[in-house]
Structure 1
Amino acid sequence: NDLIKPPSLDIAPKIAGNHRWDPYIKDCIGAIDGTHVRASVPKNMESSFRGRKNHATQNVMAAVDFDLRFTYVLAGWEGAAHDVVVLRDALERENGLHVPQGKFYLVDVGYGAKPGFLPPFRSTRYHLNEWGNNPVQNEKELFNLRHSSLRITVERAFGSLKRRFKILDDATPFFPFQTQVNIVVACCIIHNWVINDDIDELVMGPNESIIQDNDTSTVGQPNDHAWMVQFRQGLADQMWADRQNHHGN
């Protein structure tokens, strides 16, 4: 669809020239996360669609750019499915998610580190509400703070989507399941159209987000994982060194 298309490969305007992210993650083309949308399925299927919620949901994975546009949407997975499984499916589909060589998405720790997907450090402060007035203490905290302040884009996009389209979150659907899946994609298309036309009164502010149910599984082969872990550490070290030299934030 012309309104859900891959992100630009140019450096994102939000990143370009911003000392927090440029040049460290200038090759980042967006953020990826999953969200749950209420679903209605036959009784004999409900157990596989009931994850951490007390009701059936479909697990929806999406990629967004830093203007809050959806650039990829995969709806229809069971609510009990791990986010990592949904991501793998997206990558294996013929016309699925494609990460150009040398580019990457910001992801939650549950997706794991592998080429094309950059998560934060585990066991280190991450979410913006964990910081308060306490300054960063080391390179991992600095990296996580900057990662979180940019990756929150996808949470803002999901939050805006659900605020705009109450059908996604407020009631049990009565449509056939495939129609429920199509409705999610249609809402994302309309969301993008609204963003493109600057009708953004329901777009969440930078400090607003919705709570996501994130899985803790990981994806990727060991060698791929090791490469991305080393890449991430290099970024963190450079951020910290530059901050020490220039007293940045």
Structure 2
Amino acid sequence: MAKELFNYRHSSLRNIIERTFRVLKRRFAILREAVLNYTMTAQVNIVIAYCAVHNFIFDEHPDNTHFVNPDEAGPDVNGAILPYPDIQPLHADPQAIQEWWTMRDALAEGMFAIYRRHN
């Protein structure tokens, strides 16, 4: 049951993150292009900055067309949002992978313990 709860919450969070990126890609063309030319730190800062700008615009103009449901709206004037590139598998040694699994399992068990206390 702990793993099912973890997977459910992980999936829900991933859906929110993917929806956020669809909205940001609609508004900011740079996010539809290859930002991989920038360092990872720069990529993180670009996304954070655009989130801040996006939220500022929403606060000032909440009826802006970029805030419609991205799943229901058609492609913007620049064309459809590009699909995600294929994700390459993480190349890590078996010990590192086992450490990640152990951490994930501990997180799932802790999450489930809290869930049981409140329900």
Which residue among 108, 115, 118 is the counterpart of 1:236? 108
Q: CA deviation at 1:232?
A: 0.8
> CA contact under 8 A between 2:24 and 2:51: conserved in structure 1?
no
Matched, 1:151 2:10: no
Distance 1:222 1:157 in 2: 33
The one-letter code of the counterpart of 1:146 is R
Which residue among 48, 52, 56 is the counterpart of 1:197? 56
Larger helix proportion, structure 1 or 2? 2
Paired residues, number: 96
Distance 1:204 1:235 in 2: 35
> CA contact under 8 A between 2:23 and 2:67: conserved in structure 1?
yes
Q: CA deviation at 1:144?
A: 1.1
Distance 1:149 1:218 in 2: 22
Q: CA deviation at 1:236?
A: 1.0
Q: How does 1:59-208 map to 2 (within 5 A)?
A: 138-165=1-28, 188=47, 191-195=50-54, 197-199=56-58, 201=64, 202=66
Q: In the alignment, which residue of structure 2 is the partner of 1:245?
A: 117
Instruction: Give the 3-state SS of the residue equivalent to 1:197 in structure 2.
Output: helix
Unaligned runs of at least 5 residues, structure 1 = 1-137
Distance 1:203 1:220 in 2: 40
CA deviations 1:95-127 (Å, max 9, x no partner) are: xxxxxxxxxxxxxxxxxxxxxxxxxxxxxxxxx
Distance 2:116 2:99 in 1: 26
Instruction: Give the 3-state SS of the residue equivalent to 1:219 in structure 2.
Output: coil
Q: CA deviation at 1:225?
A: 1.5
State the identity as a percent.
33
With the length of structure 2 as denominator, give the TM-score of the two structures: 0.53
The one-letter code of the counterpart of 1:152 is N
Q: In the alignment, which residue of structure 1 is the partner of 2:75?
A: none
Q: In the alignment, which residue of structure 1 is the partner of 2:78?
A: none
CA gap of 1:244–1:167, structure 2 versus 1, over 3 A, is closer
Root mean square deviation of aligned Cα: 3.9
The one-letter code of the counterpart of 1:142 is L
CA gap of 1:189–1:217, structure 2 versus 1, over 3 A, is closer
State the structure with bigger RCO (CA 8 A, min sep 6), 1 or 2: 2
> CA contact under 8 A between 1:156 and 1:204: conserved in structure 2?
no
Q: CA deviation at 1:233?
A: 0.5
